[in-house]
Structure 1
């Protein structure tokens, strides 16, 4: 078994490699070459933590495995980030474990890559203003990926705790772009692409907020009950996601579906756009990508990291 510790990930996985891996696995899912296993996610009754497993199998890339981990909201007292995870890969020919890979940075990079892939295929032409809803740890990764793969000239942002907006301002400055903190109604009317990345359990971005051609990457909802968008906003939009069943059960679209405002037939897997089986944005005013986070994304970036680490002599081989 190869082991690639968390401390080595930053020097191995680039945003470009994460983008390519996520784009490829979305395409494999759309072709029927890869599928995700049912998600297990539970409140364990200790430290307010959510813990679970996401896994799958990609026959085209021969990636089999799972990510184990979750969300520990009190980790600040341990000087740790709230999201903690490890990816385990298995040999699809024998079932033996083949690798254990630190999953914290990989999760951030693959989540940001997924929203960037959605913007590549769904953003309105000439998108220049990026709107950020949320200023937590993941927001900086989201902004960097969006800017790297887009042509944005300005960033505007909102956060329920305004004192945290300095993270967005500092990241924009690092990227050489102006940043302005704005109210939600202004963000919704001015931003061409909006990334929402919060842990909210109530709608933040309302239908009345969003005006004009807009693409929204809703990246925060991955558990039953979480919610960032007004169901009326969802009902107005052309809808895309990483995996339809997961989106309707634990993703952002769970709420509009429960209220019978949308049906499963109105949600399209983003991979269908990537492989040319769906027109994508078309003449829609608003598109929404519900990034629920699928296990295959984690396996794709972890497999890429193992190959890079072995090539550089960084991975440690252990007998089990």
Structure 2
């Protein structure tokens, strides 16, 4: 009997994990653990990202692409597909739209489809939070926020859990959106102040940039010694949030060096030849104890968070497992 055709048509089940289910099972703690763990695996060489595809599609001013990778330790294989639609916000939708497909690394079969919008926001916030946990001064008191878009509140909530901040200062292109951050600070009983970019730089011990800027917002002369910067918005060629000279003044860390120098904040400093790839350290080396991280109270540290596919796969895998256990995922037969 020829069973080859039967094998080809043998049905299998996949999990469908909705946006609502992701929000119920993945909080800041779960996201932090997943991201920190995968950064550690990347530094060990047991997890790696595949080349990123990210392009302007020539419609709706949208950027669309794919991020993928494989974690041998966690046996997580998959791809995130999605992008950035800047016009969505006026329609009441999230600008970032994505979905994660997880595959069985033993068979190649599709295992799960996981909604990626909320997970993108919380894993990006977890990434900057990991950098603050490992690189910011222990006595950091003032947090500066540059950007007040959808992801900014995720960033702020996560950052406030890493240090005993006493004040938050912020700047945004459209100042009226700063109310989002002010509301978060009110929840935490923290003083909040809208300030100029120069004032933000002079006051802040930790600065998070989370914008879609294509020219520097923060100048090198405005950043004081001992500051930790988490630059989270630059993930495409041509984007830029800060003066590239800041990277020459700082000890630079990143999620993945290849992305940092090609599509991250470091692309501009490398092009200007004031920074080389050899001067950038994967943050996983700090997590694993292979690099000291911050070496003095006066040192400026910078985390170039480009957003790697393995981050998405890590939180999506955790969401799929937790949603299945809690009966929040739908099973579909293919």
Question: Which of 105, 114, 128 in structure 2 is aligned with 1:101?
Answer: 114
Q: Does 1:211 align with 2:224?
A: yes
User: In the alignment, what sits opposite 2:280?
Assistant: 267
SS in 1 for 2:80: strand
1:104-115 correspondence to structure 2 within 5 Å:
104-115=117-128
In the other structure, the counterpart of 1:297 is 311
Shift of 1:79: 2.1
User: Does the alignment pair 1:21 with 2:34?
Assistant: yes
- 1:197 aligned residue (210, 225, 233): 210
Shift of 1:152: 1.1
For the Cα contact (< 8 Å) 1:50–1:70, is it kept in 2? yes
> Does structure 1 retain, via aligned residues, the 8 Å contact 2:138–2:163?
no
Please identify the structure whose Cα radius of gyration is greater. 2
Alignment correspondent of 2:6:
none
**Per the alignment, in what secondary structure is the counterpart of residue 203 of structure 1?**
strand
Q: What are the equivalent positions in structure 2 for 1:230-245 lying under 5 Å apart?
A: 230-245=243-258
Contact 1:42 1:50 in 2 (8 A): yes
2: CA distance, partners of 1:253 / 1:207: 14
Partner of 2:328: 314
Any conservation in 2 of the 1:42–1:52 contact (CA below 8 Å)?
yes
Distance 1:159 1:87 in 2: 30
Cα separation, 2, equivalents of 1:188 and 1:63: 40
In 2, the alpha carbon distance for the partners of 1:228 and 1:304 equals 31
SS at match of 1:57: strand
Deviation at 1:77, TM superposition (A): 4.2
Runs of 4+ in 1 over 4 A off after TM superposition: none
Quote the Cα distance in structure 2 between the aligned partners of 1:149 and 1:62.
Answer: 29
Q: Secondary structure at the match of 1:299?
A: helix
Post-superposition shift, 1:161? 1.4
Aligned with 1:314: secondary structure? coil
Gap runs ≥5 in structure 2 = 1-13
Number of equivalences: 320
Unaligned runs of 5+ in 1: none
1:250 pairs with one of 263, 270, 295: 263
SS in 1 for 2:143: strand
Q: Does 2:92 match 1:76? A: no
Give CA deviations for 1:23-59 in whole Å, capped at 9, x if unaligned.
0000000011100000000111111110000000000
Give 1:76 deviation, angstroms.
2.8
Distance 1:62 1:287 in 2: 32
| 8 Å contact from structure 1 (residues 199, 226) kept in 2 | yes
1:228 corresponding residue in structure 2: 241
Supply the distance in 1 between the matched residues of 2:214 and 2:90 (Cα, whole angstroms). 24
Of stretches 4-13 and 234-243 in structure 1, the one that deviates more from structure 2 is 4-13
Q: What is the aligned partner in structure 2 of residue 286 from structure 1?
A: 300
CA displacement at 1:234 relative to structure 2: 1.2
| Residue number among 160, 185, 189 corresponding to 1:147 in the alignment | 160
Instruction: Report the TM-score when normalising by structure 2.
Output: 0.94
* Alignment TM-score, normalising by the size of structure 1: 0.98
Task: Show the 5 A alignment for 1:26-65.
Answer: 26-65=39-78
